[in-house]
Structure 1
Amino acid sequence: MKAIYMLALVLLLSACTKNFDAINTDPNTATTISPQYLLSTALIKTAYAYQDDAFMGKPAEAGRYITKVRNEGDDLFGWSAENWDSYYGTLSVNKQLYDLAAESGMKQYMAVSQIIRVFNFAYITDLYGDCPYSEALLSKDSGIVHPKYDQQEVIYTDLLKTLTAANDSLANTSLAINTTYDVLYGGNNLKWRKFANALHLRLLLRISSHDATAFTAMQTMLNDPAKYPLFESNSDNAAVKYLGVTSSDSWDGGNLVSEVTEVNKYKPSKEIVDTLLSLNDPRLAVWIAPVASETGYTVDGNTYVGVPNAIPSPYDYNGGEAHISELSAIFYQNANDLLKASLMTYAEQCFILAEAVQRGAVTVSDETAASLYYKGITASLEQNGVKAGTYMEQPAVVYKGTLSQLITQKWIALFLKGAEGWFDHRRTGYPAFVPGPLSAIRNIPSRYIYPTTEQSYNLSQYKSAVARQGADQTTTLMWYLK
């Protein structure tokens, strides 16, 4: 397995790009590589980048999971342009995986590659809005070096069609996926289909306020579980393990990747700690460390103390770092069974369906919104190695049928599991986060600002996108948020 990750690292480094022209050029020129050898690379690059954003990137602050107490610019929400080279670099490697599979008639890898493609493009458009899509990655094949920015609604329509086609293709092929190089599902065809369909549900819910067909499509899937299998337990979770052997296969908080002083900048937010405390949530002790000293504090005498964002001198909050919680010890390790590069979980799927049922938009056989809500909580608890006990019997946790309660529990379950907590807040307004007093804006950011290189390499297309979508600012709403 170590050899697989080292190969992945070599291919990853060879795929790095510096500007958008390079993004649209396939950096791997060898045509004799078998598709399966690129599969692990595409998976690792996808999962690690998404998880890195969830822990040390802007989504961690925007989702109010993390507050930085030093170099806290991200917490002030005065975000500058954000480079997207790494995302398109991953798509470039994945494109080569698809092209090689197509040349060899290996439909199983074509389908898997399409699922990876959807995940990455969905993430890009969820971060920026309109973006290069239909003409991206085509400079070598078609000479397109100034790709147009497709409208988000057009991108989403194609992504959903692609997921349907990938599911159907995997259902109708007997070709095996290599167990060694499939670091996500070990060659399990059915689990890949489940992931494709769970991701389909995520995207449908995302656009449901602006696409009248979203819930109809969701109901079609739910009416035919044989054709559209979904996650059934945590064993179906889409998550890549960390090996913890080298810096290239380790969790970002471990000493093989980061200095302890660097990781210590990242503290649990006041929002997540206070919410867990208020609910007597057993996940608190799994994720958060108690303060070093319970005497000498200034404003918060709890055993667990999170830090507000965008405040003056956050490292001095509550009397200093001895009175501020760190993340628990697992987040300082190179690998741990609870630390995985997570793309999507069974718990998230349960909450997606619970919301859709609660809204009266779909029905799920033998389920209610309440039963799905409880299944989501249970799955998260079990995933984190704790028992439910009487947790769900507490008045504040007992299902009440409100969107606020449901999204709050979903937000907890998504702790450091990606940008989804941030995206749900943008979509629903819950949990009701309020930026701190030094914040550059009065609301949580709605998007990333396009890379500065776009105004040098792709100015005409950039201007067209901005004219259509709105000013290139963090407060501009993308299509499905308007």
Structure 2
Amino acid sequence: MKLVKNIVILFLIVPLLTIVSCNDELMEINENPNGVESGVVDPNLLISSVMTGLATSSTARGYAGDTGAGSQYIQKDSWSDNRYDWQTGSIWSSNYNLLRTNKVARERAVALGLPFHEGVTLILKSMLFGNLTDFYGDIPYSKALNGKDLDGERPEYDKQETVYKAIIADLELASDLLEGSNFEGVMESQDLFYGGDASKWQKLANSLALRYYMRLSEKLPSFAREGAVKTLSKPLMNNIEDELVLDYIGGIESQSWPNSGQFGSASEFHRVKPCTTLTDKLKDLKDPRISIWFAPVEVPTKIVSANEMPGEEDIVETGGIRYIKEETLEANNYAIYTPESYSDDLKDGKILIDTSSVYVGLPVAVSGVDPYQYNLNSEGSRGGTNAYVSNMNEVFNQKDDGGNLLKARLFSYAELSFLKAEAALKGWGSSAEENYLEGIKASLEVWGLADYYDDYINNTEVSFNGTLAQIMEQKWIANMFNGDEAYMDWRRTGFPNLNPGPFAREEVMPLRFTYPDDEINNNSVNNSLGAASLEATPYSSTDSNDSPYARPWIVQDVTEPW
């Protein structure tokens, strides 16, 4: 791909984003005499900014942010209690800023008669608005990017159903616009995703449409079925070369993997720990991806009898191993971590010890405060230093270009394969098993583990059993670092079974982000109507209508996730 050599260009044009990200009134008042006017700017320069913003913000959420924790890929071991007391998230302002830039790019594409750019901007628009409605519910959509009207009114909220259907319609229009070849005005260096390849953009548009039809499959099954069947006959991603990815090349902070620790505090990297929900599953499946994503624990822990202790004390650390005298466990109120018992043990006041020999994860919401002392961490600091819990693999500390591993992964061929497998399971397509296996194969391939495929799929728990739970479990694993999509899959299907942990705010996982304060204060009338569309639950009573535990339209009158 051409992404590595071209990504640097985008950082030269980021200041343009601030010019076109203001509302219409501010653009008139604060016109930058040194900037580029929106009426003459080249859309190529704008779409690269949108691509970068979309990719990096999504990865930051999915790796070390709300949706990485929400999907239980990671937990933070300091400066976070992991209680799932979700508030506004980080999506609202970032996505609307990018949407304003994208709107200018689309208007220029239409004015200049550039169908390639129009199609691309429709796809980017769909992804950005898709994030917003996914996580909030009703949102400003049809009038969102117009600023205040002549009477000073703020934009109205559109119903979530309306937004989803409009997103799908835009994706289908984009697919039509991107039919053919020899498009004019395309600067390959500014297309950071596909280098100006319209056929790949068209396949992405159709693949995204399938994603959203499946998103609606429980809420609007007839609509989703008709759309999915139609979409499955269109050009879709064929292999990993069609994936929507962006390389992190390093060198400066904005081009580097989030929380890499190479810029600013060195502890940023160490504060992100693998979550036991994932590490336990990967160990159960003997999944080779565990060695790519996580580092072996620096100091493993062994429980031994008194006559096996290499010293007289109850805890002895020697030769890179920590030994704990078995006879002292009860007296010290210690309990050995197991997935089945850890929550009850913590509620009973026990102190957990993890004796995993290679990979030690951090359990979900394991403490009412920062869990930096987990597994008898003797250092007890908030700097993320814990020799008794695994770190993320050192590759994510990005001291170099990361090879082929460090990418923002927004839509993978594996995801498409699992979508097709799920559709086939519903009778909306064919070859559920074939697509399921293709998804596993694709995921192993992108992480450099293709040689493990034959052994892995012969594992009893991996060999296809024809259940949705198995398809979604493998899709969840394959979507590592795409926390947005993994979380939405859980909310839609209830798979995998994500429990909030013993010290979470509520006994169930949250369903959404809350609207930001600026929106509540500055667009209060419309926002109150949007919040009123949410359905109260037994877990939302301590909040206003705008609760993380209230049901947006898409999970009203459905059985999942709780």
Deviates more, 1:140-149 or 1:211-220: 140-149
1:284 shift after superposition: 0.6
The equivalent of 2:208 in structure 1 is: 199
Deviations 1:81-101 (A, max 9, x none): 335111100001111110111
Pair 1:363 & 2:452 matched: no
CA distance in structure 2 between the aligned counterparts of 1:219 and 1:345, rounded to whole angstroms:
20
Q: Is the 8 A contact 2:24 2:146 kept in 1?
A: no
CA distance in structure 1 between the aligned counterparts of 2:253 and 2:396, rounded to whole angstroms:
15
CA distance in structure 1 between the aligned counterparts of 2:20 and 2:447, rounded to whole angstroms:
34
1:9 shift after superposition: 2.5
1:296 shift after superposition: 2.6
Q: Which has more helix, going by share of residues?
A: 1
SS in 2 for 1:342: strand
Q: Is the 8 A contact 1:5 1:248 kept in 2?
A: no
1:112 shift after superposition: 0.6
1:437 shift after superposition: 1.3
CA distance in structure 1 between the aligned counterparts of 2:152 and 2:137, rounded to whole angstroms:
21
Q: Is the 8 A contact 1:289 1:326 kept in 2?
A: yes
1:130 shift after superposition: 0.6
Choose which of 493, 507, 529 in structure 2 pairs with 1:428: 493
Deviations 1:122-142 (A, max 9, x none): 011001111010010102787
The equivalent of 2:364 in structure 1 is: 309
Pair 1:79 & 2:105 matched: no
Deviates more, 1:91-100 or 1:80-89: 80-89
CA distance in structure 1 between the aligned counterparts of 2:394 and 2:458, rounded to whole angstroms:
29
Q: Is the 8 A contact 2:261 2:269 kept in 1?
A: no
SS in 2 for 1:469: coil
The equivalent of 1:188 in structure 2 is: 197
The equivalent of 1:319 in structure 2 is: 376
Q: Is the 8 A contact 2:21 2:100 kept in 1?
A: no
Q: Percent identity among equivalent residues?
A: 32
CA distance in structure 1 between the aligned counterparts of 2:88 and 2:483, rounded to whole angstroms:
20
Q: How does 1:66-215 map to 2 (within 5 A)?
A: 66-73=74-81, 75-82=82-89, 84-139=92-147, 145-172=153-180, 174-176=182-184, 177-211=186-220, 212-215=222-225
Choose which of 3, 9, 28 in structure 2 pairs with 1:4: 9
The equivalent of 2:253 in structure 1 is: 247
Pair 1:374 & 2:374 matched: no
Unaligned runs of 5+ in 1: none
The higher radius of gyration belongs to 2
Choose which of 345, 354, 361 in structure 1 pairs with 2:412: 345
CA distance in structure 2 between the aligned counterparts of 1:329 and 1:141, rounded to whole angstroms:
51
1:384 shift after superposition: 0.3
Q: How does 1:399-478 map to 2 (within 5 A)?
A: 399-470=464-535, 471-478=545-552
| Matched residue type, 2:162 | V
1:173 shift after superposition: 6.2
1:467 shift after superposition: 1.5
SS in 1 for 2:190: coil
Q: How many residues align?
A: 472
CA distance in structure 1 between the aligned counterparts of 2:157 and 2:107, rounded to whole angstroms:
23
Deviations 1:165-188 (A, max 9, x none): 110011156414321110100000
Supply the RMSD in Å over aligned alpha carbons.
Answer: 2.3
Q: Is the 8 A contact 2:24 2:147 kept in 1?
A: no
CA distance in structure 1 between the aligned counterparts of 2:497 and 2:45, rounded to whole angstroms:
45
1:30 shift after superposition: 3.6
SS in 2 for 1:296: strand
1:31 shift after superposition: 2.3
| Matched residue type, 1:136 | A
